[in-house]
Amino acid sequence: MYIILVYDIEMDEGGAKASRRVFKTCKKYLTHIQKSVFEGDITPSLLQKLRIELDKFIRKDRDSVLVFKSREERWLQKEFWGKEDDKTSNFF
């Protein structure tokens, strides 16, 4: 499936630590496209693995992680308003 993951970490004491860890963990599975936004193709089992990893770092009462799921990339219309960039490309 193709997902977009967005997170919001409360910036109080311990926020910086949580945000750093969430960022680094997401980076292993998905492409970082904007400040706290990731996107990419993933399997249900790997998504579960990502979730288990994230659960250790997010504080249930303050932080939130949102996942938008789509069956496949082609069912997701993506538009760039302003600068266009292809961070999800496999070529560099």
Positions at the binding site: 8
CA proximity to 87, closest of 39, 43, 46, 29: 39
**Contact letters (x/-) for another protein, 49-78, by CB under 8 A?**
xx----------------------------
**6 is a contact residue toward another protein (CB under 8 A):** no
Residue appearing with tokens 């994230």: 54
Distance CA 73, CA 52 (A): 24
Q: Which is nearer to another protein, 1 or 62 (CB)?
A: 1
**48 is a contact residue toward another protein (CB under 8 A):** no
Distance CA 31, CA 62 (A): 25
Number of residues that bind another protein (CB under 8 A): 19
**40 is a contact residue toward another protein (CB under 8 A):** yes
